[in-house]
Amino acid sequence: MRSVALSSNESLANLLKEERRFAPPAALAAAANVTADAYAEAKADRLAFWATQARRLNWAKEPTETLDWSNPPFAKWFADGELNVAYNCVDRHVEAGLGDRVAIHFEGEPGDSRTITYAQLKDEVSRAAHALQELGVAKGDRVAIYLPMIPEAVVAMLACARVGAPHSVVFGGFSADAVSSRIQDADAKLVITADGGYRRGKPTALKPAIDEALQSCPQVEHVLVVRRTGQETAWTEGRDVWWHEITERQSAEHTPEAHAAEHPLFILYTSGTTGKPKGILHTTGGYLTQASYTHHAVFDLKPETDVYWCTADIGWVTGHSYIVYGPLANGATQVMYEGTPDTPHQGRFWEIVQKYGVTILYTAPTAIRTFMKWGDDIPAKFDLTSLRVLGSVGEPINPEAWVWYRDHIGGGRTPIVDTWWQTETGAMMITPLPGVTETKPGSAQVPLPGIAATVVDDEGHEVPNGSGGYLVLTEPWPSMLRTVWGDDQRYLDTYWSRFKDRYFAGDGAKKDEDGDIWLLGRVDDVMLVSGHNISTTEVESALVSHPQVAEAAVVGATDATTGQAIVAFVILRGSATDSAELTAELRDHVAKVLGPIAKPKRILTVSELPKTRSGKIMRRLLRDVAENRAVGDVTTLADTTVMDLIQSKLPAAP
Ligand code: WT7
């Protein structure tokens, strides 16, 4: 990683002069789950605060210790406590008389739907837990899950949690190679997959990737296959087992065993811009405590009345914490959607919000910018008045996208919670609270109660308000990663060696005059132009604030005179046409918003941007294009044809 002295960057003070402010709606604030008192309470005694939050869960053996930090940075939370995660997410709600409450409204892409109550979910999880055990999965064994967005994915994860077998969910969009390296790294003995899933209006096969991956994974004993599409599927006798055949004949009663709070719950591989993927390890009690608390606090969830929808994929940590563990631990009713937002039409999301009366929506900036590009008239055709809280996650949200989200989806009424966190943090860390915080478009603002974060300079000194630097977390938190699977040294090197006793998140950030935190993207994405540090995020936001621009990705390309030169790739809004005049206007616009130093040297109009399945722009690939190199590894792209499309449209470099 390049070392950058962001704090010395005077131009930062000029960037993003965002002055719009939005107070919480009075009615929401008056009835909010969490008020400003929580900050004071956590500040007075952080560990006592988390010990209280842990009581949200049902423990088979109550913990007497909160944090064991005797061997930092290897944390143990609630270490002498015992609990079963699946029991907490399912059984206890049924025992409390809520068995008839809908847990999942499933909406398949082709239009099929299923309603699953907590009582039904309990039966399904119990049968699946028996099935895992019949197939020889014991406590501690790893299980790989490679499924589309269907309820069986939730059932499979909970069944693993129930028997104490850590799961490793791999994105359904990943290639056979990516799956195979993850199965090997975790040494999984069982794989759960499906014949296929529906995406973009047609069945897409999944099982062939597993068949191919397993050629190099001899330790896998069985493959459990869910029938989703009914497409023809190759079969290995003795190894492959149909999910429906084995689960159907199991008992719906399964006694949940209590697991130690530090028992591994799951491994999730981060895509990582460099090096081989890291298996991020999360454990049981602390993880579930923070997933549950944050879901309750940040979305102001009222489980009796809210209909919650997180549009992430379960192959992403957002799906783990805010589709499976947080919402179900809280007894929420949620929507789960299998497919893409433009199938069969660009209003599909809004049709779903209207159909189920969704009240809380959690999605990503990349999706929001896509909706902006498709046009305001599309959401306007649907009744979105049920919505009361909107969330954003995955990357910094440009102020224009934030305001568009609030106005066109939230009807100008809803608070927006811009939630900063990472696969490694397990749960939300920095975010407004919808009933408390006066929000600022583009800023994640404040650490949650019980969370300690700040911004430091190159030497690790906290920067004053109004300055930029690196985001660090200064105290351990319950849902923190415990290590990198099988590689403690990599855990130390990646997160704990850059600054003494502080967790290095890898993100650039600045504190504004009020001390609120603005995320500036990965530090690897900071450009150095004529000795000035300029964040890709801020140039992108400046471009998106122009009425003709829907989306932008900015990279620093090596430049003989300036060190790096700013190259921007933009997607225009539907109505705009590409011209030299428009490009010149966009360059001037950036200069006006951010200052002449941030003016892009080149602006290229494209129709798509290369993104990972979790919606992150792969700037590394755009840098290859900007520097006229052969494009590098594209295997983690959501759509691997995008780079060809971009390159075929480009003029020769000047
Ligand atoms: C990285 C973590 C958190 C779950 C999804 C992504 C970026 C995430 C925000 C936000 C600015 C954000 C950061 C972070 N990021 N949320 N609200 N504002 N940046 O998990 O794939 O582990 O990525 O996503 O750069 O470090 P992930």
Question: Confidence band (pLDDT; 50, 70, 90) for 538?
Answer: confident
| 437 pocket-lining for ligand 1 (C-beta < 6 Å) | no
Q: Is residue 350 annotated as involved in ligand binding? A: no
Q: Which of 322, 422, 425 to mutate to test the pocket of ligand 1 (most atoms within 8 A of CB)?
A: 422
| pLDDT at residue 648 is higher than 80 | no
- The better pLDDT of the pair 519, 640 is held by 519
Residue 4: predicted pLDDT: 38
| Alpha carbon distances (Å) from 489 to 473, 484, 496, 500 | 19, 8, 10, 15
| 423 pocket-lining for ligand 1 (C-beta < 6 Å) | yes
| 519 pocket-lining for ligand 1 (C-beta < 6 Å) | yes
- The better pLDDT of the pair 274, 79 is held by 79
pLDDT digits (tens, 9 = 90+) for 253-266: 999 999 999 999 99
Q: Is residue 394 annotated as involved in ligand binding? A: yes
Question: Confidence band (pLDDT; 50, 70, 90) for 175?
Answer: confident
| pLDDT at residue 274 is higher than 90 | no
Compute, in angstroms, the gap from residue 144 CA to the centroid of ligand 1: 24
Residue 271: predicted pLDDT: 64
Domain 9-84+263-523 matches domain 119-257 at the CATH topology level? yes
Q: Which range (5-19, 67-81, 125-139, 525-539) has the least confidence?
A: 5-19
| Alpha carbon distances (Å) from 492 to 50, 456, 496 | 25, 19, 5
Rounded Cα–Cα distance for residues 223 and 250 (Å)? 18
pLDDT digits (tens, 9 = 90+) for 342-376: 999 999 999 999 999 999 999 999 899 999 999 99
Rounded Cα–Cα distance for residues 43 and 557 (Å)? 44
| 393 pocket-lining for ligand 1 (C-beta < 6 Å) | yes
> What was the ipTM of the complex prediction?
0.99
Q: Which pTM does this prediction carry?
A: 0.88
The residue written with tokens 């066109």 in the block is: 408
Nearest residue (CA) to ligand 1, atom 6: 394
| 525 pocket-lining for ligand 1 (C-beta < 6 Å) | no
Compute, in angstroms, the gap from residue 509 CA to the centroid of ligand 1: 12
Q: Which of 268, 273, 398, 420 to mutate to test the pocket of ligand 1 (most atoms within 8 A of CB)?
A: 420
Compute, in angstroms, the gap from residue 394 CA to the centroid of ligand 1: 4
| 315 pocket-lining for ligand 1 (C-beta < 6 Å) | no
Q: Which atom of ligand 1 is nearest to the CA of 423?
A: 22
Rounded Cα–Cα distance for residues 12 and 4 (Å)? 13
One-letter amino acid at 556 equals G
| Mean of the per-residue pLDDT values of the chain | 92
| pLDDT at residue 301 is higher than 90 | yes
Rounded Cα–Cα distance for residues 7 and 9 (Å)? 5
Q: Which atom of ligand 1 is nearest to the CA of 522?
A: 25
Question: Confidence band (pLDDT; 50, 70, 90) for 578?
Answer: confident
| pLDDT at residue 141 is higher than 50 | yes
| 507 pocket-lining for ligand 1 (C-beta < 6 Å) | yes
Domain ranges of the chain: 9-84+263-523, 119-257, 530-649
Residue 618: predicted pLDDT: 86
Q: Which atom of ligand 1 is nearest to the CA of 428?
A: 3
Residue 652: predicted pLDDT: 52
Q: Is residue 443 annotated as involved in ligand binding? A: no
Nearest residue (CA) to ligand 1, atom 23: 422
Residue 14: predicted pLDDT: 47
| 9 pocket-lining for ligand 1 (C-beta < 6 Å) | no
pLDDT digits (tens, 9 = 90+) for 593-635: 888 888 999 999 998 898 877 778 888 889 888 888 887 777 7
| pLDDT at residue 5 is higher than 70 | no
Nearest residue (CA) to ligand 1, atom 5: 394
| Alpha carbon distances (Å) from 154 to 124, 166, 321, 494, 532 | 10, 14, 11, 31, 47
| pLDDT at residue 649 is higher than 70 | no
| 419 pocket-lining for ligand 1 (C-beta < 6 Å) | yes
Report helix, strand or coil for 646: helix
Report helix, strand or coil for 137: coil
H helix or E strand, kind and range, residue 259 = strand 259-260
Residue 554 near residue 541 (C-beta atoms within 8 A): no
Q: Which atom of ligand 1 is nearest to the CA of 521?
A: 25
Backbone angles phi, psi at 429, to 5 degrees: -130, -45
Question: Confidence band (pLDDT; 50, 70, 90) for 15?
Answer: low
Structural fold of domain 119-257: Rossmann fold (3.40.50)
Rounded Cα–Cα distance for residues 275 and 284 (Å)? 28
Nearest residue (CA) to ligand 1, atom 14: 422
For the chain, what's the residue count?
Answer: 654
- What mean pLDDT is predicted for residues 293-316? 97
Residue 11 near residue 595 (C-beta atoms within 8 A): yes
Compute, in angstroms, the gap from residue 65 CA to the centroid of ligand 1: 31
| 444 pocket-lining for ligand 1 (C-beta < 6 Å) | yes
The residue written with tokens 């989200």 in the block is: 405
Q: Which atom of ligand 1 is nearest to the CA of 312?
A: 5
- What mean pLDDT is predicted for residues 191-206? 96
Structural fold of domain 530-649: GMP Synthetase; Chain A, domain 3 (3.30.300)
| pLDDT at residue 17 is higher than 80 | no
Compute, in angstroms, the gap from residue 80 CA to the centroid of ligand 1: 32
Compute, in angstroms, the gap from residue 554 CA to the centroid of ligand 1: 18
Question: Confidence band (pLDDT; 50, 70, 90) for 574?
Answer: confident
pLDDT digits (tens, 9 = 90+) for 480-502: 999 999 999 999 999 999 999 99
Q: Is residue 522 annotated as involved in ligand binding? A: yes
Residue 629: predicted pLDDT: 83
- What mean pLDDT is predicted for residues 379-401? 96
Rounded Cα–Cα distance for residues 195 and 227 (Å)? 6
| 509 pocket-lining for ligand 1 (C-beta < 6 Å) | no
- Beta pairing class for 143-146 and 190-194: parallel
Could you tell me the end-to-end alpha-carbon distance of the chain, in angstroms, rounded to an integer?
29
| pLDDT at residue 9 is higher than 50 | no
Residue 184: predicted pLDDT: 96
Residue 374: predicted pLDDT: 94
Q: Is residue 162 annotated as involved in ligand binding? A: no
Q: Which of 393, 510, 541, 636 to mutate to test the pocket of ligand 1 (most atoms within 8 A of CB)?
A: 393
SS (H, E, C) 433-497: CCCCCCECCCCCECECCCCCEEEECCCCCECCCCCEEEEEECCCCCCCCCEECCCHHHHHHHHHC
Superfamily of domain 9-84+263-523: ANL, N-terminal domain (3.40.50.12780)
Compute, in angstroms, the gap from residue 428 CA to the centroid of ligand 1: 10
Residue 650: predicted pLDDT: 64
pLDDT digits (tens, 9 = 90+) for 415-458: 999 999 999 999 999 999 999 999 999 999 999 999 999 999 98
Compute, in angstroms, the gap from residue 421 CA to the centroid of ligand 1: 5
